[in-house]
Amino acid sequence: MIEFNQLKYFRKGDIMNLHIGVIKGDGIGPEIVTEAMKVLDKIAELYGHTCEYEELLLGGASIDVHGIPLTDETVERAKTCDAVLMGSIGGDAKTSPWYQLEPSKRPEAGLLAIRKSLNLFANLRPAVLYEDLKGACPLKEEITEGGFDMMIMRELTGGLYFGERNTVEKDGVLTAYDSLTYNETEIRRIAKRAFDIAMKRRKKVTSVDKANVLDSSRLWRKVVAEVAADYPEVELENMLVDNCAMQLVKNPKQFDVILTENMFGDILSDEASMVTGSIGMLASASLNESKFGLYEPSGGSAPDIAGKGVANPIATILSAAMMLKFSFDLDKEADAIENAVAQVLKDGYRTGDIMSDGKTLIGTEEMGDFICERLK
């Protein structure tokens, strides 16, 4: 078994060789990942780094070659990389032969399996509304003026989704139960990751729970407070989940890092994604206890537009920026990508999903080219 090496990448001064696993995936995946790699190569050129890519198969692409969505070899090869950049997985459930297979052999099963195999317990979902895209936001303009930028940190491998569950018949009545369990170790490791990320941002953590009702939330709040004591520069705010759901649509600007458990994070991250206006703009990352992470766009594989050159690559490009920041500590390079994306939008260029009157419609490859041109 290959173990993770936390210092795999070569670094000499500020020059690094980035060993990146690449899963291009299915549908529009190969197109959008290609543009993200183009941006990474440009960053490497500008800052003196090198990128070494190792292509891996997952999902439908793996089924076509190996008959299963994820092989043991792919997992082991992924573990030798510093990080993995991934496109979208899956196809059309009505027409693709992949979905004639049993559920455990379908594309999405491979995605769940690799997350488990790599122990990716921390899910990061940024929700950013760019000033130039505020018209796509469903909230009132006075709420969105100036845009907003938050990071939702969701615990990914514990809680209600992984607890004991069963459905039984009692006295002729069906009864179902699901167990919500967290231990202090699970809470502490996700909290530390949230505070570390807050140190790279605006130094505020909003810990979301239901401590007025749930024992698991009361433990959550206690452990988070203990972790916060090690980060005196970071402001800690506790907020009940129902209030957080309201505040996300009332005043999203107040949030920097939202830290929460699995089910709450599942719901809140979807709510936050809607107020940004387009899922094609949303990056994500799943991290383990080392610097290793799996970085992917939040959207699906969109098989209906695959190969047409119209997909929006920005979410994947921003995922690559997250990779530079959180797996390689290359904050300047990550900021350069984010600034270039913002400049392209300010200059009025749009793919079809974010197109509006008076803007210039461009395709997938052009968007990657224009972002590269604006890198500094």
The per-residue pLDDT for range 315-369, each reduced to its tens digit, is 999 999 999 999 999 999 999 999 999 999 999 999 998 888 899 999 999 999 9
> 376: pLDDT confidence band, cut at 50, 70 and 90?
confident
| Degrees to nearest 5, angle at CA 155 with 152 and 161 | 120
Q: Give 58-67 pLDDT, tens digit per residue.
A: 999 999 999 9
pLDDT of residue 11 exceeding 70: no
Examine the residue annotation and report whether 149 is marked as an active-site residue of this protein.
no
Question: Which residue in 210, 231, 256, 349 is the catalytic one?
Answer: 210
Question: Which residue in 230, 242, 329, 347 is the catalytic one?
Answer: 242
Examine the residue annotation and report whether 161 is marked as an active-site residue of this protein.
yes
Instruction: Write down the pLDDT at residue 6.
Output: 47
Examine the residue annotation and report whether 270 is marked as an active-site residue of this protein.
yes
3 state SS of 285: strand
Q: How far is Cα 209 from Cα 229, in angstroms, rounded to an integer?
A: 19
Question: In the predicted model, what is the mean pLDDT of the chain?
Answer: 92
Question: Which residue in 231, 266, 349, 353 is the catalytic one?
Answer: 266
The two domains 1-123+276-376 and 138-271 share their CATH topology (first three levels equal): yes
Contact between 165 and 179 (Cβ < 8 Å): yes
Question: Which residue in 64, 230, 270, 329 is the catalytic one?
Answer: 270
Instruction: Write down the pLDDT at residue 8.
Output: 57
> 1: pLDDT confidence band, cut at 50, 70 and 90?
very low
Instruction: Write down the pLDDT at residue 2.
Output: 42
Strand ranges for 219-340 from DSSP E: 235-240, 257-260, 283-287, 293-297
pTM value is: 0.85
> 10: pLDDT confidence band, cut at 50, 70 and 90?
low
CATH tag for 1-123+276-376 (out of 3.40.50.720, 1.25.50.10, 3.40.718.10, 3.80.10.10): 3.40.718.10
Domain ranges of the chain: 1-123+276-376, 138-271
Domain 138-271 superfamily per CATH: Isopropylmalate Dehydrogenase (3.40.718.10)
Question: Which residue in 47, 105, 161, 335 is the catalytic one?
Answer: 161
Q: How far is Cα 124 from Cα 97, in angstroms, rounded to an integer?
A: 32
